[in-house]
Chains A and B, each alone.
Chain A
Amino acid sequence: MPPVITTAAGRPITVNHYPFPDPAPQPAPSGTTLCKYTHLDLTEVELNCSSRYNCWGFTFIPRRYRINTGTEVDWVLEDNCSPVADGSLQPGDVIRYRYNGITTHTGRIWEVDAMGHATIVRSKWGSGGEYLHPPQIVPSIYGTDVACFRQHAPLNGVADLWIADSVTDDGEQCSHRPWWTSPDIMVDSPPYDGSGDLNPQFSVVNRVWARIRNRANCNADNVFVKYYWADPSAGLAPADWHPIPSTLGHSNPAGPFSVPAFGYVNAPYVEWTPSAAPAHQCLLAITYINDDPADPDNPDPLVYVFDVPWDNNIAQRNVHIIPAKKGSKYSIRIALKNPFPYLKRYVAEIQLDMTHSAQLPILGPELSIRIPQLTFSIANGKTVEIQNVDTRVLPLTGRKVAFPVTTLHETLIASGKISDISLDKSQEVALDITVPKDARPGSIYYIHITQKNRNQICGGYTVAVMVNRD
Chain B
Amino acid sequence: MNLKERIEVIKQPEKIKNAFYANSAAVLGFAFDEDPDVQALIAVGEEAIPLIEQEIRENGADLHEISLSCFAYVLSKINVHKAAKILSPLFPKIVDRPGSFAAMFMARTLRTEKNLPVSSRELFFTPEQLRETLRSIG
CB-CB < 8 A to A105: which residues of B?
Answer: 23, 27
Rounded to whole Å, the gap between the CB of B108 and the closest CB of chain A is 14
Rounded to whole Å, the gap between the CB of B4 and the closest CB of chain A is 24
Q: Mark interface residues in A454-467 (1 if CB within 8 Å of B CB, else 0).
A: 00000000000000
B22 CB within 8 Å of chain A: yes
Decide: A140 and B98 in contact? CB cutoff 8 A.
no
Decide: A141 and B27 in contact? CB cutoff 8 A.
yes
Decide: A68 and B24 in contact? CB cutoff 8 A.
yes
Bound-state CA distance A26–B19 (Å) is 14
Query: Which single member of A14, A17, A54, A104 contacts B30 (CB below 8 Å)?
Result: A104
CB-CB < 8 A to B18: which residues of A?
Answer: 139-141
Query: Which single member of A19, A24, A101, A141 contacts B22 (CB below 8 Å)?
Result: A141
Chain A interface main SS type = loop
Decide: A127 and B24 in contact? CB cutoff 8 A.
no
CB-CB < 8 A to A54: which residues of B?
Answer: 23-24
List the B residue with the shortest CB-CB distance to A74: B122
List the B residue with the shortest CB-CB distance to A72: B124
Query: Which single member of B13, B64, B121 contacts A102 (CB below 8 Å)?
Result: B121
Decide: A99 and B27 in contact? CB cutoff 8 A.
yes
Rounded to whole Å, the gap between the CB of A417 and the closest CB of chain B is 41
Decide: B124 and A71 in contact? CB cutoff 8 A.
yes
Decide: A126 and B23 in contact? CB cutoff 8 A.
yes
Query: Which single member of B13, B99, B100, B122 contacts A71 (CB below 8 Å)?
Result: B122
Interface size class of A (residues with CB under 8 A): 20 to 34
A434 CB within 8 Å of chain B: no
CB-CB < 8 A to A100: which residues of B?
Answer: 30
Interface size class of B (residues with CB under 8 A): 20 to 34
Decide: B20 and A19 in contact? CB cutoff 8 A.
no
B31 CB within 8 Å of chain A: yes
Bound-state CA distance A34–B45 (Å) is 40
Bound-state CA distance A17–B98 (Å) is 7
Name A122-159 residues within 8 Å CB distance of B. 125-128, 139-142
B135 CB within 8 Å of chain A: no
CB-CB < 8 A to A2: which residues of B?
Answer: 98
Q: Contacts A68-B99, A71-B121, A102-B121; is A128 near B30 (CB within 8 Å)?
A: no
Query: Which single member of A23, A70, A101, A140 contacts B24 (CB below 8 Å)?
Result: A70
Decide: A99 and B20 in contact? CB cutoff 8 A.
no
Q: Contacts A69-B122, A102-B121; is A18 near B99 (CB within 8 Å)?
A: yes
CB-CB < 8 A to B22: which residues of A?
Answer: 126-127, 141
Bound-state CA distance A81–B64 (Å) is 35
Decide: B124 and A68 in contact? CB cutoff 8 A.
yes
Q: Contacts A102-B26, A126-B20; is A141 near B122 (CB within 8 Å)?
A: no
CB-CB < 8 A to A142: which residues of B?
Answer: 21, 27
Beyond A99-B30, A127-B21, list 13 extra A-B contacts (CB 8 Å). Answer: A14-B99, A20-B64, A26-B20, A70-B23, A71-B124, A104-B24, A104-B26, A105-B27, A127-B20, A139-B21, A140-B34, A141-B31, A141-B34
Binding site for B on A (CB under 8 A): 2, 14, 16-20, 23-24, 26, 49, 54-56, 66, 68-71, 99-102, 104-105, 125-128, 139-142
